[in-house]
Amino acid sequence: MTTRTWEDLQLPTPGTFNLDAAHTRIGFVVKHMMVSKVRGHFDQFSGSVTVAENPLESSAELSIKTESISTGVADRDGHLRSDDFLATEKFPEITFRSTRVVGHSGDEFTVVGDLTIRDVTKQVELTVEYGGAGTNPWGQNVWGFSITTEIDREEFGLTWNQALETGGVLVGKKIKIEIEGEANPA
């Protein structure tokens, strides 16, 4: 891979890179019954990153097909696709578009952007860890990343819940988003 040194990091040269769906996972974690966590992911998505000459001017966008949500339990997945949650027929996509990179420390960048769920757009801050760049055994250039953030689902209109007899609620308000992936030249 063609890389360059920028502040002690070996970054890809400027250009546009697409997410490699075979090597990217868009996952989430939410509290269940106040005592445990449910994990899930989305199977269908597309996205790109444009690496700028000045990496702090780079940008990214992502589109996720809401119907592709999977937690490994068919009944729960059906409920998550219903109007109680994602309303996938009315709102077929979740989108993210970065607006700026606000800083970095070492290989960790802070990216701010607009996240849209159920036609509600809110600004979110992502922690993006750059994983490095290389060439895979088939000669393809790749670079890796890890992204985390936490959102309040109720701010996006995902307000369904059920009170528990023991106190608390069935589904937590906070959702942790975890993305692990690779990108390669567009």
**Which domains does the chain show, CATH number per domain?**
3-185 (2.40.128.110)
Instruction: Give me the mean pLDDT over the 89-96 stretch.
Output: 98
pLDDT attached to residue 184? 94
Partners of 179 in beta bridges: 26, 147
Place of tokens 């890796």: 144
Across the chain, mean pLDDT equals: 92
* 162 has a pLDDT exceeding 90: no
Distance of CA 171 to the CA centre of its chain: 20
The predicted-structure confidence for 96-151, as pLDDT tens digits, reads as follows 999 999 999 999 999 999 999 999 999 999 999 999 998 888 888 899 999 999 99
* φ, ψ of residue 66 in degrees (nearest 5): -65, -35
CB proximity list for 135: less than 8 A, separation 6 or greater: 1, 141, 142
pLDDT attached to residue 106? 93
